[in-house]
Structures are given as C-alpha cells and as structure tokens.
Structure 1
Amino acid sequence: MDLTHPRKKLRFLLIISLLLLSLRRQDYNVEAQNSDKVVNLPEQPSNPKISHFSGYVNVNQENTRALFFWFFEALSEAPTRPLVLWLNGGPGCSSVGYGAASELGPFRVAENGTSLRFNQYTWIQEANMLFLESPVGVGFSYTNTSSDLDNLNDSFVAEDAYNFMVAWFARYPQYKSRDFFIAGESYAGHYAPQLAEQIYDRNKVKPNESFINLKGFIVGNPLTDDEYDNRGILEYAWSHAVISDSLYDTAKRNCDFKSSNWTEPCNVAMNTMFQKYKEIDIYNIYAPKCTTSNSSAASFLGVFNKSPAMKDWFKRVRWFEGYDPCYSDYAEKYFNRVDVRTSLHAGTREISRWKVCNNSILQTYQFTVSSMLSTYRKLIKAGLKIWVYSGDADGRVPVIGSRYCVEALGLPVKSEWRSWFHNHQVGGRITEYEGGLTFVTVRGAGHLVPLNKPEEALALFSSFLNGQELPSRP
C-alpha cells in the first residue's frame, strides 16, 4: 500500500487503531471470562470434563443491582450450539437451586448435601446453558437499595433481565451471534415471554451492538392466564379425586375466575381445596410426600392456615417453585458452604444464608399482570418459535389450565393431538398450531418435568431446538 498520500496514511492509521482497540476489548473479555471460570468446585465429578463459569453482572449502576449467573458450555460442539437462558419462577426461587442443580444442569447435589453427581440427562448435551438468579434478592443476586425489593413486578424483572443479557453478551461476545432461546417453568410463564417481548421490541430500535439473536422460548407448566389457570386448578383437583363433589360444586357456584376480586365463599372453597392438597404433594400428585424438609421452600407449606383477602391469597398460592422439598435441604446445605461460594465467585457478598426460595419476595411481589395471552399473540405474529409443555401430574399449574390458555389463542391447528413416544412408551401428547406454537404434555411428570422425567424432558428439548418431530410410533 502506498502510504505517501496523507489521506491513505490517515486511513491506514485509523484501521490499525481500530484493530488495536478490538484486540484490547478481546483481551478484556478473555480476562473477564477467565475470572468467571469455575475451578475446583467442591465434589465436582471429574468425568466428563465440564467447562463452566459464574459471577455477577451489574444491571443498574445507580442502585448497584447485580444478578448472579452460572453458565455451562455444551458438552460437545460448544462453538456451534445455541445459547439457552433458563429461568425459575416463584417468584423468589433460584434457577441455581432448581434448574441448574436439580433438573437439567450437569450436576445434582447428592442426598447428604455434601457431594455432586453427574446428570446424564443434562441439557448441556444440546445447548450452552445459562442459569440466572432473578430478580434481585433471589439466591446470590443482590441490590444495595432496599427499596428495590418493594418495587418488584413483571416489568422490573424483565428490564433487569434484558440489561443482564446485553451486558453478558458484551462479556461473552463469542455467543452474541448464536441462536438464542429462553426457557423456564412455573412463574417463568411470565418471565420468559415478557423478556422475549422486551428483546423483540429493543431489537427494532437499538443499535447493532445491543442486538440479541432471539429465536424463541419454551416454558414448562407455566402460569399464563389467571382465569384459565385458576379454573384449571379447581377442575384438575376434582377430576383427579383430590376434592369431593360437594366442594367442587360449591367452588363452581361461588367462584367467578374472570374476576380478580373473589367472594368470601369462593376464597373459603379454594382455601379448603388447598388444605386437601397439603395431604399430598401438589406439584406431583402421585409422588411420595416429603415430611422432613426444613428448607426455605418447605416453609411456604404453612401459609394456608389463615384466610386473608384475595390479594394475599394470590401471594400465598404462588409459593414454592419446586417438586422435591427434601431436595431443597440438600441444595441449601451445599450452596451455603464457604468453599462452594468461593469457587462460584459468590463469596465476596455478605449473604447470610443462600436459600432455594426467598419467602419475602413472594410477599412483596406486585402481581400486576393477569394474562400473558396478548404477549403470546404478539410474539407468534413476530415469528418466534414457542413451545409450552406440561407435566400432567402437576396440580399447581395443571395441564387442564394450560390447554385452556393455548386454546384461547384461537390458532388454527396444524397437526392434531397425538401421542409421542420415548423408549417404546407413550411419552405424552403433542399438538401443533399455525404460527409456530406447539403444546406438549409429558406423561407422569409433575411441576418439574426435567426432574420427574429427565429422559423425556431431554428428548423434548432436543426436538424443540433441532426441529425434529417427536416420534409418533413406539
């Protein structure tokens, strides 16, 4: 190149400067990622080798809000696999304690709470998995502004989660161009579509450096619409012999699920129904009930002893994001170890006790959104791939309510309701709708499908990501 011409020389120097700046940014990202890398996690199995990272991302400089993440690279072909963000709900329950460490992550905490074992049905066989403790106040995530905890609502959570993803991609730019999906369960039935909507809207107005390559979301046993979900809870309890005919008739006669202000007779009937559910595990009605748990999740179990007004009732019934309260004991014992916190880069924060579920968030959370159906319609029209799956043994967010929600969207049916198979047995049922929505059931699974039916859950997740149909024959 002839650099004698001043303009060419200036252009050359500008290119060199940009390259050096890019290299410095890359060095910074490598340095940041290296500092996040988890090494010597206590009791981690040595085989297979798993590359994982954890730490904090600041989502609000003014209030010093930071969300904690735990990220696992895919077991194979990580550079070409998609990135999936997993969210647990509650609100107030940890995606580290549930999603990562009891459902679909590569590690399971053993029953004594002092060791880990490899999960052979981990979803990192299919994708790079990012687990986020959200909102602030959950798990290791924190805020230095206490008033934040009094202002939590769906919009607050979606904004923080969006800011987290933008900052996380800046820290891990090699994943920015990957196909990106959101996944979650229970109250993530709000979190996932609302974050997807936030990303979709911001992608249309934000500059390229903030663009997120969102392709869709998948949610399990999701709270979606208060009217249909609550109607489904009652009908499921009656149809599965949890409550008597007379209680069912009383509730039907007194409850208008379209209204957010229930009558006192309705409150009494529904509270009586939940009292009956205390005799079994509402999250998996055919599973044995744990009777020894002392975890933060289990502490929600006593909240039905009172009969408060409807507003408080909503806060009560949205408790405990989980299936096995005994397992919560093991998780809390493990993640409260000093050496575990240090390895996960969470030891610098003065968190008195890590909890699977933060009860106080549930009590202060502002439930301002009653239905996600309009958001579904918007995102279906936008062309996102959306799957809703439902463990059919869950009494808390039962399959009946989820079917009502999906049918309320009024979409034309693309493929009729049919059985799908796994290991020569019926895995569940599936139906597809025009526009990219699919509804799947998982036979015999409760609220936490990947925990109850890990093989079927992995097959379902693989089908969602790869576009391959679930088998229609044994």
Structure 2
Amino acid sequence: MELRGELGSSRTWFWLVALLFAYASFTVKSVESTNQLKDEFVQRAADRVKWLPGQPASFTFRQYAGYVNVEGDIGRHLFYYLAESPKNCSGKPLVLWLNGGPGCSSMGNGWAEELGPFHITENGTGLVLNTKSWIRYANLLFLDSPTGVGYSYSDNPEENHSGGDARTAEDSYTFLIRWLERFPEYKTRDFYITGESYAGHYIPQLAALIHERNKDAELKINLKGIMVGNPSTDNYYDSIGAIDYWLSHAMISPKTHDDLHRACNFTDPNCCSQECNDKYYYANQVEIGGIDSYNVNSPSCPSADDGAPQKRRRLTQSSRSKNPFLRVVAGYDPCNSYGYNADIYFNRKDVQKALHANVSGEIPYKWMSCNTEISWTDQALSVLPLYEELIKAGYRIWIYSGDNDGVVPITGTLYAIESLNLPVTVPWYAWYTKTQVAGRCQFYEGITLITVRGAGHEVPLLQPSRFLSMFRYFLVGKELPGDPIYT
C-alpha cells in the first residue's frame, strides 16, 4: 500500500510539474507573441507615409513604405510601398506588383510609369495623381526585389550585385509572411500577384511556392490568382516567337528570319553559337534599325536636349544569358520622360526620408530604375511546368501582351500557351472598351490570353484605360466584353 501511494504521489508531482512547464512555456510564448505584435504595431505606425514631396493636396488614401528584413543573420532588407484604395479599402483585395529585368524597380517602373497612384512631373519636381491607377479597384503593394534593386539592399555587399530565381522567390515569400504580420487585416484578404516582363518568372515561381507552403504553414496566404504581362515564359518559345514576330511585322527579311532559325539552337541551354549572335546583332543593327523594340510603332526621339543622339535603351545588354534574345531589360517609350523623372525623384533625400528609405545611407550606390549590373546565378529555362501546377490547383491565371512589343512578343507567349494543349473554352474574339477594339482574347481551360491593341512592353504606359478595364475584369473573373453592337 505504501509503494502504491508513493507511485501515485510521484505521478501527481509529474503532472503538476508538466503543467507548470506547459503554463510557463505558454506564458513565455504569449509574452513573446504580444511583444512581437507590439513591435509590428510600432513599426507599422513608423511606416506610415504622411506626405510625399510634391504630392497634390487632393489625395485621399493611406500609404505606407519601409523595409522588411527577410534574412536575420545576413540582413536582406526588401523595400515595399503600399497604397490603400481611397474608397472601401477594407472590402477590396490586396494586389502585389512586381517588375522584372531582372534588376528593375517596381517603384521606378510600375509605380512611377504605369499603375501607381502618382506620376512624377518633369525633372522630378513633384507628383500628379494617376487617374488610371489600380487603387480604384484594389490595395496596391509594390516590392523591390531582389536586393540590389531600387531601395532594397543586403548587408552583404555581394548580394547587391547578384541574384537568382530561387532566392528571389524565397525572399519574396518570406517578405509576404512577415509583412502580413505587420498588416494583419490583410491576412484573410483575397490576394493576387501581378507584374510584367521577367516577372513572368517571379510570379509563377512565387505563386507555386505559396501554394506548396500553404499546405503546412500556420499563416496561409489567401492567393486567388496571378496576372502577368508580356512575360518571359520559356526560352525556346520566347526566342522563336521573337523571330517570327519580326518577320510578320516586316522588321527583318525572310532570309534573316531563316538564317536565325538555322543558326540558333534554342533547345540548348548554352545557346547560342557565334553565328547565332552575329545574325542577331545584324538583324537588330541593320534591318530592325533605330526603333524602340519595346514599342515598335512608337516615334523615335532623334536627339536629347543637348543635341546628342538619344541613347536607345533597346541596345542595353547584360551578361545574364548566353542567349542574345534574353539579354534585355524592361524598356519604355523613348519619348517618355517618366523614367528620367524617376531617377531624379527617388534620389532626392527628402523623398527617401518620406519613404523611410536609405535613411542612414545604407545603400552604397545611387537609386536607379534598372540595375543592369546584377549577375543572375540561376534562371529557369521554362516556367510552363509551374503553370500546369497552378492550373491544376485552380488559381485564376491571366496572361496579357501589348501587341507592339517586339522583345517579348505575343507570338512567343501564344506558342508557349498552345504547347500546354489546353482545351479552348471561349475561342478568339475582339474585346472592347466602349466602341473601340481594345485587343483580342482567348479563354483556355485554366488560362486566359489577352492582347492589348496599341500597347508595347509596358502596357499601361500607352494604353492605361484599356489596361485598367482589363484589370477590373480580372479581379471579378469575368470575360472581357465583346462587340457592343452584338452583345
């Protein structure tokens, strides 16, 4: 009996001690969680942008900007900007915008030139409201990624000059998780990822990572869909699509078209031969000539203000790829001054202070719209397998293309989508804004393909009304309107 009593007493003490440990652990975690929430609340308040230099007095929306550290040991600091919709922001989705390059700033391109709440005035002196901004329909989150792009930076200087697909996706995912802790009201909000150009890699890679991590993550990101514009999709299809587009638009001769197909082996990851490179540069320098390939029908700007020849951004090259067709950065209309204005505006100290960026001079280089010196360490040959994965998971996927883009043209995108052998649910038709043809579209089982008439590589730059209309239909998941006479 005494032995049995001792055992019973031992068990009682065991459970008492276990309960005390559990309570202590719970209390510590509760305190840590409370402190974390408090820290995030304080940081969120510090991120509030009260006023941007030159901002018009008529703005009526909240904006935030600052950094999220995505790597504690090294210190990789990704810069973000959030503009909340001026009306009923709590009832509208969260939309992330990513620019490509790789190496181009979402602030310098998407924010300043395309769909952000403001445009920058001449010589970076001020801001005007962008009446075609997406904030009419959504809360907009802009992210500069990877480090070395825009205001984003790493404490390790080497990481400001190199990047890759894998690290960019991982850092962007970590950013979202930590950003949502700072803005918890968006945790359950419908979430969409959008962007253009090399973000054709970033977006499906990030979406696939979210889909996979959501299976076990404590915080599940409420991803509903993605929309990518003029996207880098598949090395092979993008490359042959460019050649075929050039011929169809009388930009190159039939002979050069055939020579490029013969000399360039785009199925080889180590493409291309010297002959292929020579044919490529001949096509660009001699036959295509002095146009902006990012918008083939735009007027050329014959000279800069000082009378010197205007630098053509289409010729800007980097060593990111052995395939000359992929050595490009996001471009813009050569007669458009937004990019020049952004370079001035975002290097202003008062602007950086207002945006809580580079406050202590952490960035050892000038802000630039596109950092062409970033070396790219890993690059997917194709993101088509990710599209198949995302289609199977049921996400909304829209792919759009300005039909005047000669760098990542509609032909290559069409070839890539057709290679998936998806059933067509709504065949090719012209879609309209009011009484004007805005482009063409075709609905596949799992993907919607859209062209935007009269737009180049950066669709909202030249066709903001059509772009905004398309975005609205994307959010509600409805077909684009056809000919108003027959509908």
Match of 1:245 in 2: 254
What one-letter code is carried by the residue in structure 1 that aligns with 2:474?
F
Match of 2:386 in 1: 375
- Which of 107, 119, 138 does residue 149 from structure 2 map onto? 138
Deviation, structure 1 residue 286: 0.8
Asked whether the equivalents of residues 119 and 338 of structure 2 are also in contact (C-alpha less than 8 Å), the reply is no
Q: Distance in 1 between matches of 2:256 and 2:186?
A: 53
Distance, in Å, in 1 between the alignment partners of 2:288 and 2:347 is: 31
SS state of the match for residue 428, structure 1? strand
Question: Compared with structure 1, are the counterparts of its residues 143 and 13 closer, same or farther at alpha carbon in structure 2 (3 Å cutoff)?
Answer: closer
**Structure 2: distance between partners of 1:121 and 1:463:** 15
Mapped to 1, the partners of 2:160 and 2:325 lie a distance apart of 18
Partner residue in 2 for 1:5 = none
Quick one: which of 342, 345, 352 aligns to 1:341?
Answer: 352
Asked if 1:205 corresponds to 2:216, the answer is yes
Report the Cα distance in structure 1 between the residues aligned to 2:96 and 2:280, rounded to whole angstroms: 35
Give 1:52's aligned residue.
Answer: 63
After TM superposition, the structure 1 = structure 2 runs for residues 212-227 of structure 1, keeping only pairs within 5 Å, are: 212-227=221-236
Q: Distance in 2 between matches of 1:383 and 1:293?
A: 52
Asked if structure 1 preserves the Cα contact closer than 8 Å seen for 2:316 and 2:328, the reply is no
Aligned-residue identity in percent: 43
- Cross-structure match for 2:369: 356
SS at the partner of 1:120? coil
* Cα offset, 1:34, TM superposition: 1.4
The answer as to whether partners of 1:231 and 1:401 remain within 8 angstroms in 2 is yes
Q: Identify if the C-alpha distance between structure 1 residues 229 and 124 changes in structure 2 by more than 3 Å, giving closer, same or farther.
A: same
- Secondary structure of 1:232's partner? helix
Q: CA deviation at 1:424?
A: 0.6
- C-alpha offsets along residues 391-425 of structure 1, whole Å, 9 cap, x if unaligned? 00000110111100111111111110111100210
User: Structure 1 length normalisation: TM-score?
Assistant: 0.90
Q: Deviations over 1:284-305 (max 9, x none)?
A: 11112344399xx96855556x
Q: Is the 8 A contact 2:121 2:341 kept in 1?
A: yes
Displacement, 1:468? Answer: 2.8
State how far apart, in whole Å, the 1-side matches of 2:281 and 2:202 are: 27
- Deviation per CA, 1:26-55, whole angstroms, max 9, x where unpaired? 544432221101112101111131211000
Deviation at 1:228, TM superposition (A): 0.5
1:318 aligns with 2:328: yes
CA distance in 2, matches of 1:241, 1:371: 28
Q: 2:167 aligns with which of 156, 169, 173?
A: 156
Which range moves more in the overlay, 365-374 or 183-192? 365-374
Give the Cα separation in 1 of the matches to 2:305 and 2:158: 31
Distance 1:309 1:68, change over 3 A: closer
RMSD: 2.8
For the pair 1:400 / 2:399, whether they are aligned, the reply is no
Distance 1:309 1:21 in 2: 44
1:74-153 map, 5 Å: 74-149=85-160, 151-153=162-164
1:228 matched to 2:237? The reply is yes
C-alpha separation in 1, matches of 2:314 and 2:210: 36
Q: For the residues of structure 2 that align with 1:95 and 1:384, how far apart are their CA atoms?
A: 24
TM-score (norm 2): 0.87
SS in 1 for 2:422: coil
Residue type matched to 2:462 in 1?
N
Which of the numbers 464, 478, 484 marks the counterpart of 1:468?
A: 478
Partner of 1:4: none
The aligned length equals 456
Counterpart CA distance in 1 for 2:36 and 2:276 is 60
User: Unaligned regions of 5+ residues in structure 1, if any?
Assistant: 1-9
Which whole-Å deviations, capped at 9, do the CAs of 1:248-282 have from their partners, x for residues lacking one? Answer: 22212322322232232222111222224450011
Larger CA Rg, structure 1 vs 2: 2
| 1:272 alignment partner, one of 282, 289, 298 | 282
Larger displacement relative to structure 2 (442-451 or 367-376): 367-376
Distance in 2, Cα, partners of 1:110 & 1:278: 31
1:341-381: CA deviations, max 9, x gaps? 110001333433110011211xx112431101001001100
Output the amino acid matched with 2:376.
Y
Number of the residue aligned with 1:6: none
Determine if contact 2:148/2:159 at 8 Å carries over to the other structure: no
1:419 aligns with 2:412: no
The whole-number CA distance in structure 2 between the counterparts of 1:341 and 1:150 is 21
* Per-residue deviation, residues 47-68 of structure 1 (Å, max 9, x unmatched): 1312110000001111111000
Deviations 1:425-454 (A, max 9, x none): 0011111111x3111110111001111110
